[in-house]
Chains A and B, each alone.
Chain A
């Protein structure tokens, strides 16, 4: 794996092969001539110092990225599972409520049935008036 070309910007004392990993993001020493390494140091540096630094950064970055990805995926999965669970629970509750609604509607219809009401009324010593004993009072404009 190679880093993007724009990050391989720092000059190197000797031309590195194109596949060589890019140097780190530390400011390029070439801008301050006083700190420029001696030819010996410069010759040793890529082999002894630069390579381990590049690998560590890459590994660290990759590790962070992978960890973040894994954590993200796990979290997303957990959220999805939890949402699915909530949806399932909500659907079950909706189904239960619908069933309860039908049961209560049926119960209400049964209890309010004229026959049930009449039976209850008779049990409580209520009587239906004989035909002709009911006098209907009409308010003008209220009838059919």
Chain B
């Protein structure tokens, strides 16, 4: 009988013991020393965090009718790994989504595990597609922005991008108010995507955004836009701008840029047509600016209402020939006549008595050279030439050439006169409605006195004479005394950098003259008939008629007109 190989057995045992010791040591390291790290790693692999989008707040008009709101929709995606027959699936998907087959097929054949087929699909279409039960097709909740009033106030509202973030207008300006706070769901899930029963399951609910209440009146806005579009068509003009505002509160009732566009088709609209011309565009105001020269001259006692000027139809200033809009012999004119007849030469003479520093100071006090405070994205501050001015600059600035302003800045000037000389910051938003339905009004608008109430009253009388028997007779409204001013401004040709042959026609005014309730600015860009009194005054008149009906404005007592040397009165 052979002896057992004791030595080898002992060696084998030793090797086995060594191996086991190694295994135990490694296990100890994994379980004890590095156990915490592996546990953490495993937990992080199981833990999934989902962001829950917050409901975006609505934008409402003054009577709380929605101008913009978010509706539920679906993003449709595909996981191409599970698509069995891309061609057949694409042929079934494309008609439901209103797409062509080729791009859908390309998406289904793409590399990777996720590709969007369509975003913000309406629920009905998504449900139809879901009913087909195609492999590899999934749906994600995604809110879509809807503008139920279509083109109404489209230039003011702006838009959101595909991810629901504001990219223009009020949507962009009030992004932090509207967006809300996204929620979060943290769930421990198995590799198959099934929530683990006893695992982490924490929900932090999203907080919806606040609703924005604008000062715009949906019905009024529509009427104003319609009138503006009609005026642009009738005058064969490029575009038009109308602002209707309350001179006391600064609330903007309507703000129209025409031609308009459907807010639901923002992305398909050329950027040029999406501009809110009332705030973004700067133009040379022309004769509507004479109201500042007149107000400054009266406030500074540079000119009295009874003072008579000898006014020719042209004048050489610093080597620049300036002239009135029509030929006339040298005439005796009082300040009221100069404004009523819109004489450039007369206004330049008034400005010479006032001086450049005083005029520049009043331009600044009326808000030129800075934004109006609406905070609207892209709002222009306009441009006023820096002092010292040569005589030609003083002359041209006095009648509104050689400086630029936005229509809103110009409307604010007239609102200041209408508000007894107190400038009020214009506003488009009156407050917000929070998730609990509580209305929180916006801060009171900033105000500042620009001219005395007496000066404002005197200027109002002059503006009333413009409509009564001056250049603005087409703005008259039966039974109401309207105060306003025409403007006909030459435009600079962007190619040559010099004045060309195109004009901006405008009429800005308020009514009733004795107790102004509404300020209206009507501006027509490049009309066939260049004069503000012809192209823009009828638009003002029409919008004023709507204002009377919509706002219930009563006629008020008439104001006395200023003295005339032309025998106008």
Which A positions have Cβ atoms within 8 angstroms of B?
Answer: 99, 102-103, 105-107, 109-110, 112-115, 118, 131-132, 134, 136, 138, 142-144
Contact = CB atoms under 8 A, between A and B. Distances in A.
B219 A106 contact: no
Interface stretch (B27-35, B312-320, B378-386, B545-553): B545-553
A99 B554 contact: no
Contacts of A105: 66, 69
Contact of A99 (B72, B221, B538): B72
A102 B71 contact: yes
Contacts of B374: none
Interface of B: 65-66, 69-72, 123, 146, 148-152, 218-219, 221-223, 226, 477-478, 517, 538, 541-542, 545, 548-549, 551-555
Nearest to A113: B149
22 contacts: A99-B123, A105-B66, A106-B146, A109-B65, A109-B149, A110-B149, A112-B65, A113-B150, A113-B222, A114-B222, A115-B151, A131-B541, A131-B542, A132-B545, A136-B548, A136-B549, A138-B552, A138-B554, A138-B555, A143-B554, A144-B517, A144-B553
B517 A114 contact: no
B152 A144 contact: no
Contacts of B218: 113-114
Given A131-B541, A134-B545, A144-B517, A113 B72 contact: no
A144 B556 CA distance: 10
B31 to A, nearest CB: 35
A142 B552 contact: yes
A28 B548 CA distance: 106
B553 A143 contact: yes
B288 to A, nearest CB: 22
Contact of A131 (B71, B545, B552): B545
B150 A106 contact: no
Contact of B71 (A106, A114, A132): A106
Nearest to A116: B150
A93 to B, nearest CB: 15
Given A106-B146, A144-B553, 20 more contacts: A102-B69, A106-B69, A106-B71, A109-B65, A109-B69, A109-B148, A110-B148, A113-B148, A113-B150, A113-B222, A114-B219, A114-B222, A115-B149, A115-B151, A132-B477, A132-B545, A134-B549, A138-B552, A138-B555, A144-B551
B151 A132 contact: no
Contacts of A131: 538, 541-542, 545
Contacts of B72: 99, 102-103
A2 to B, nearest CB: 36
Contacts of B123: 99
Nearest to A144: B517
A136 B553 CA distance: 9
Contacts of A114: 149, 152, 218-219, 221-223
A123 B504 CA distance: 36
A144 B553 CA distance: 5
A102 B152 CA distance: 20
A115 B222 contact: yes
Contacts of B222: 113-115, 118
Contacts of B150: 113, 115
Contacts of B541: 131
A92 to B, nearest CB: 13
Given A115-B222, A118-B222, A132-B478, A106 B552 contact: no
A113 B71 CA distance: 17
A132 B554 CA distance: 15
B544 to A, nearest CB: 9
Given A99-B72, A131-B541, A144-B552, A106 B66 contact: yes
**Which 7 pairs between the two chains have the least Cβ-Cβ distance?**
A143-B554, A114-B222, A109-B148, A110-B148, A113-B149, A109-B66, A143-B552
A134 B477 CA distance: 11
Contacts of B552: 136, 138, 142-144
Contacts of B151: 115
Contacts of A107: 148
A7 B314 CA distance: 127
A115 B553 contact: no
A113 B554 CA distance: 28
A136 B538 CA distance: 19
A15 B324 CA distance: 136
A143 B548 CA distance: 9
Contacts of A99: 72, 123
Contacts of A143: 552-554
Contacts of A113: 148-150, 152, 218, 222
B478 A144 contact: no
A136 B545 CA distance: 9
A105 B211 CA distance: 14
B148 A106 contact: yes
Nearest to B60: A109
Contacts of B66: 105-106, 109
A141 to B, nearest CB: 9
B564 to A, nearest CB: 27
A107 B148 CA distance: 8
Contacts of B478: 132
B476 to A, nearest CB: 10
A99 B127 CA distance: 15
Nearest to B547: A144
Contacts of B148: 106-107, 109-110, 113
A138 B71 CA distance: 42
Contacts of B149: 109-110, 113-115
B535 to A, nearest CB: 15
A134 B552 CA distance: 13
Given A131-B545, A136-B548, A115 B71 contact: no
Nearest to A95: B72
Contacts of B517: 144
A99 B222 CA distance: 28
A112 B545 CA distance: 23
A102 B145 CA distance: 12
Nearest to A129: B545
Contacts of A138: 552, 554-555
Contacts of A115: 149-152, 222
